[in-house]
Structure 1
C-alpha cells in the first residue's frame, strides 16, 4: 500500500527563514506562490522581464525578478516551467545561480524522467505534485481546503529534503487533504497515461464518437450533445464523490443494466491492447521524444490538430444550445 503522510508528521516551520523562489508564474506557479505567501512564507518570483507572468506577479503584489536573480536568492526553488523547455531555460538562467545545497522542486516529473533536465549534482531535487490545476489549488485553499498531493525525492544532498518537501506541500494546501509518497517515474508515467488514455484523449474521443453515432443516425445534434457530453458531468461527479460502486448505486436500474451489459461492447480487448501499447510508448520514452520534437519544430502539427478539433460538430451543437439556453453549461 502507498505511504500517506499525516499532518502531525509534517513540520511546516522548516520553511521559516528560508527564501522560496517560484520560477515561472503561470497557472500552477501563481497558485503555489499565493498559497505560500498566505501561509506566512517568504516568496520571490522569477519570470521573464516584461512577460505576462512578471506583469501578473507584480499585480499580485510580488517583486518580479529575473530568473537568475530569484534562483540565486532561493533556499527552495520551484521550477514552474514548460516540460520541454526546462533544460534549456534552467541550464542558462537557473542552475548556474543556485546555492549549493538548495532544494529544487518540480510539480511534474517529465523533465527529470525523460532526461530533459538534470539539476546540478550539489543540489537536492524533489517533487511536489498537486493533483489538480492551479486555479483549483488556489480556490480550494482560499475555501479552507486544498488538493491531494504527491511527493518524491530524486536526490537528497542534505539529509532533510523529504522533510522540506513535505513542508512545502503542506504550505500550498496539500496536507489539508492528503499527501502520498511516489517516485518521479511513477508520477510521470501514470500522469501521462491518465491524460492520454482517459482525461484528454480516450474520454473526449469516446464522447465525440457517441455524439457522431447519434447524429449520423438522424438525431438532432443538440439532443446528442446533451445525452453524450453534457450529462457526462453528472456521472463523473458521482464517481468523484462516491466512487464507481457509489455511482452504480445512484443511477436508475435501466441505466445500470444498460451500462453493465453494453459497456463491455464499447471497451473491448482491442481497447485494452491499445492502452497497453500506449503505456509502453510512454514508459520507453517514445511519447516524450515525439513531444519534444514537436515542440522544437514549433508545434505546427499540434496546432493543426487543435484547429480540426475546433471545427467538430460538438462545438457547433454547444453554441446552439447556449444561444437558446444561456447559462446551460454553468456549473
Structure 2
C-alpha cells in the first residue's frame, strides 16, 4: 500500500504497483466469480475480469435483453453464462450487481446460496447500509465487501480497453474467512481499478447518493438549465446558449481540468476569465452549500433511499421514468445539444 498526500491529508491507497494483476490472479485462482446482473456495472466488470484471466461466469434471466447482450459480448450459455439460480450455485464469490430494487426482490434466492466461506460482493453500499428498508442481511459465515468504481460500467470498460484504470473505493463489511481483504483487493484490481481507496459501506452510499444528486448529475443539470434559460431569455440563440453552457465546458475545459486540475485552468485562461471566475466561484459555493447540506441530511437519514425504493418498486415505475426522461430529452437545451454534437467535425461526412 502507498501513503499519498492529498492536499495536506495523508491517505493510504492501493495501486496496481503494490497489488499487481499477477497477485490478483493468484488470490482468485480457486474462485468462481459469479456476476449476477448484466445491466449498468455487470458488463464492464465481467468482461474486464474475463480479459484479465479470472474465472468469471454471468447469471442472468434467459430470453431477456441482457442475456442476449451477454451472448453478444462473448459469454457462452452453459459454459460461462447461466440462469441466475445455477450461477449462484456455481459461484464462490457472488458479485451482486443488480439494481437496488432488483437486489431487494432477488435477495431470498441469493441468500440461500450463500454457504459458509463464500463471498458477497457489492459495488454499492445501499442494500447493506439501509438493510432495515431492504431486508438484505447476509449470513455471518460469508465475507461481505464492496468495490465501487467511480464511474459508469461503460467508462470502466472503455478505460480498460484504453489501458487505463478507473479509480474505485473498497470496503469490508464482514470478514468471515480471514481472507476478505485479499479477496476484495484482488477483485478491485481484476475489474480494472486505477487505484483503490478505503471506505466503509455507509460512507460509500452516502457519498454516492450525494454525488449523483449533486455535482455528477442533479446539480450539474440544474446549473446547465439555469444558465441556458437566462441566456435564451436575454436573446441569445440556442446554438450560442448551448455552446457557452455545455459544449465549451465538456469538450474544451473539463478534459484539461481532468488532466491538470482547476487551479491550472485558472492559471491558463485569459485575465478577464480569471477575474470573473475568482470573483464568482465563492458566491456559487455559498448559494449551493446549504442545498448540499440539506441533500446530505436527506441521504443520511434514509429519506432518499426510501424514496428510491418506494418509487422503483411501483408497477408503473418504468412508464413514469420514461416520461421524465422524455421531458429532459425533448427540452430545447438538449435538442440544441443533439444538433451541436452532429456538427462536430468527427460526426460530419467528408
Whether these two folds match at TM > 0.5 is yes
Hey, what does 1:79 align to over in structure 2? 96
- Whether the aligned pair in 1 keeps the contact of 2:172 and 2:180 (CA below 8 Å) is yes
Alignment of 1:243-258 (within 5 A): 243-258=261-276
Residue deviations 1:138-196, cap 9 Å, x none?
2222222221111100111101101110011111221xx21111111111111111111
Hey, what does 1:46 align to over in structure 2? 59
Bigger mean CA offset, 274-283 vs 108-117? 108-117
Mapped partners of 1:258, 1:274: distance in 2: 23
1:219 is paired with a residue whose SS is coil
Gaps of 5+ in 1: none
- Whether the aligned pair in 1 keeps the contact of 2:329 and 2:335 (CA below 8 Å) is no
1:170 to 184, 189, 192: 189
CA shift in 2, pair 1:2/1:172, >3 Å: same
Gaps of 5+ in 2: 1-9
Alignment of 1:181-330 (within 5 A): 181-233=198-250, 234-265=252-283, 267=284, 269-297=286-314, 298-299=316-317, 301-321=320-340, 325=343, 327=345
2:261 is paired with a residue whose SS is helix
CA shift in 2, pair 1:218/1:125, >3 Å: same
Hey, what does 1:127 align to over in structure 2? 146
The answer as to 2:158 corresponding to 1:144 is no
Mapped partners of 2:300, 2:188: distance in 1: 27
Hey, what does 2:5 align to over in structure 1? none
Bigger mean CA offset, 116-125 vs 14-23? 116-125
Hey, what does 2:27 align to over in structure 1? 14
Report the CA distance between 1:122 and its aligned residue. Answer: 2.2
2:291 is paired with a residue whose SS is helix
Report the CA distance between 1:9 and its aligned residue. Answer: 4.4
Mapped partners of 1:90, 1:193: distance in 2: 25
- Whether the aligned pair in 2 keeps the contact of 1:75 and 1:102 (CA below 8 Å) is yes
2:276 is paired with a residue whose SS is helix
Residue deviations 1:84-104, cap 9 Å, x none?
220221222x22123321011
When the two structures are aligned, how many residues end up with a matched partner? 325
- Whether the aligned pair in 2 keeps the contact of 1:321 and 1:328 (CA below 8 Å) is no
Residue deviations 1:107-153, cap 9 Å, x none?
11111111122222321110011122112212222222221111100
Residue deviations 1:9-54, cap 9 Å, x none?
4331110021111111123211111111111121111001111222
Hey, what does 2:12 align to over in structure 1? 3
1:100 to 94, 100, 116: 116
* Cα RMSD, aligned residues only: 2.0
